[in-house]
Chains A and B, each alone.
Chain A
């Protein structure tokens, strides 16, 4: 069923009784051309683009829980392409372009809202760094604009401009950035992939790999039995190390908990996404009115999928330093997700060092914005055997060769990005 104003009106008149499930909850078949492990945004987008761009439809997405139950359904939904390094910016701008056409492409309301992001700067040095980043963005065809203090004040008069330690001097604005509805992105890709014939198999955990005599991967062992596959692609986010270990691969990744917070619903007050440049705090306002905000990862390896109190305190302190009015709002909910932190803060889309296996991992805490391009490029790699031009730098061997993509310039520290 294609969604349109007409179908909506017809359903409204018939009491909304005629809606059908948006996608098919499939049973595992014996074999597929390609099995994608992980039913998050990245896995489902990969399946969609495999069928749409490459005509490969004997594809299964196997998910240990329910689709979108991982980070895809836990993130703070910010989409942007404001990176500084060549290996990153072309990719994230490609993702931004895909977001801009996503609803038409999927015939699904993913609520892409380009309300802008402003990264605040608090010192001359930081202004210079942001100007450099803005220039890099423009060179890659993205939009960027340096705002002075007055321009930021017009946009967000409630900020603490004269904070004694962190005065706000201006900001780097990307107007095309914004937010999207995370669950809708998962369901939209699932619906499109399913319509192409992709099997989405839930409650099916991968617990091992099938291998031939040469050691090549020929399928997956799951809690619902073996599934043979021509190729296997991993898109399991925070669980990348564990699943790769089943194929005897060690990755340059640590798993860490990242938390997010939502306040009670308030009247519209925050115009877009705002990030604090002197601490780690970022905030936007959801369509329901809740302030959605977050900050640093907890900082030590974790698979607990919930966070601890020191970061709650740290995030709230950052919020209070930036916008004291936030102190009047009550936090309704907070939660955590397990993110796959690489040693340079950038992702991996590459062949694994084992034949038949492909990696899509290391998204750190910024992989939601990457969802469309990640799916597009991973599908390209799986289908053609060659990296997509915008993702060619996301190689696994860059850590050994020294071609790191280290936006922060912080070195081999997984817990800083």
Chain B
């Protein structure tokens, strides 16, 4: 699998660290913290997820990948995704 880093271009997935589902947002208080830490959508299909380009530019990237076949349909810097 090759991951299109927006900064470095397409790189081997071995250069990245996986962090999983990008959707959960850390809540301000205790309310919702359980959901944030433990619960997942876990879809069979497109998933927006975080990868960290540890052996490259060291950016956090939000990749959209289909969990059924690993086809990647997009990748942007995570800080831009959060805006």
Known: A399-B34, A415-B18, A415-B20. A254 touches B68 (CB 8 A): no
Query: How far, in angstroms, from A412 to B41 measured CA to CA in the complex?
Result: 15
Contact with A along B21-43 (1 / 0, CB 8 A): 10000000000001101111111
Residue pair A300, B39 in contact (C-beta under 8 Å): no
Residue pair A304, B70 in contact (C-beta under 8 Å): yes
Instruction: Write out the residue numbers on chain B whose beta carbons fall within 8 Å of the beta carbon of A254.
Output: 20-21, 40, 42
Chain B positions within 8 Å of A, measured between CB atoms, are: 1, 13-14, 18, 20-21, 34-35, 37-44, 47, 49, 65, 67-70
Of the listed stretches A98-106, A245-253, A327-335, name the one at the interface; the rest are far from the partner chain. Answer: A245-253
Query: How far, in angstroms, from A348 to B18 measured CA to CA in the complex?
Result: 25
Known: A301-B20, A399-B34. A242 touches B1 (CB 8 A): no
Partner of A300, one of B18, B38, B69: B18
Main secondary structure of the interface of A (DSSP, over half): mixed
Instruction: Write out the residue numbers on chain A whose beta carbons fall within 8 Å of the beta carbon of B42.
Output: 241-242, 251, 253-255, 301
A303 at the interface (CB under 8 A from B): yes
Residue pair A301, B70 in contact (C-beta under 8 Å): no
Contact with B along A250-265 (1 / 0, CB 8 A): 1111110000000000
Closest approach, in angstroms, between the C-beta of B27 and any C-beta of chain A?
15
Main secondary structure of the interface of B (DSSP, over half): mixed
Query: How far, in angstroms, from A412 to B43 measured CA to CA in the complex?
Result: 19
Closest approach, in angstroms, between the C-beta of A353 and any C-beta of chain B?
12
Query: How far, in angstroms, from A343 to B38 measured CA to CA in the complex?
Result: 6
Number of A-B contacts (CB under 8 A): 64
In chain B, what residue has the closest Cβ to A344? B38
Instruction: Write out the residue numbers on chain B whose beta carbons fall within 8 Å of the beta carbon of A343.
Output: 37-38
Closest approach, in angstroms, between the C-beta of B22 and any C-beta of chain A?
11
Residue pair B39, A251 in contact (C-beta under 8 Å): yes
Known: A308-B13, A310-B13. A303 touches B68 (CB 8 A): yes
Residues of A87-117 whose CB lies within 8 A of B: none
Partner of A301, one of B38, B39, B47: B47
Query: How far, in angstroms, from A303 to B38 measured CA to CA in the complex?
Result: 20
Contacts A252-B38, A400-B34 aside, 15 further interface pairs with beta carbons under 8 A come to A241-B40, A245-B41, A250-B35, A253-B40, A254-B20, A254-B40, A254-B42, A301-B49, A302-B67, A308-B70, A343-B38, A399-B37, A400-B38, A415-B18, A415-B20
Query: How far, in angstroms, from A234 to B40 measured CA to CA in the complex?
Result: 18
Closest approach, in angstroms, between the C-beta of B74 and any C-beta of chain A?
16
In chain B, what residue has the closest Cβ to A308? B1
Closest approach, in angstroms, between the C-beta of A302 and any C-beta of chain B?
5
Known: A254-B20, A343-B38. A303 touches B67 (CB 8 A): yes
Instruction: Write out the residue numbers on chain A whose beta carbons fall within 8 Å of the beta carbon of B38.
Output: 252, 343, 399-400, 412
Instruction: Write out the residue numbers on chain B whose beta carbons fall within 8 Å of the beta carbon of A215.
Output: none
Closest approach, in angstroms, between the C-beta of A410 and any C-beta of chain B?
13
Closest approach, in angstroms, between the C-beta of B40 and any C-beta of chain A?
5
A299 at the interface (CB under 8 A from B): yes
Instruction: Write out the residue numbers on chain B whose beta carbons fall within 8 Å of the beta carbon of A304.
Output: 67-70
Query: How far, in angstroms, from A415 to B41 measured CA to CA in the complex?
Result: 15
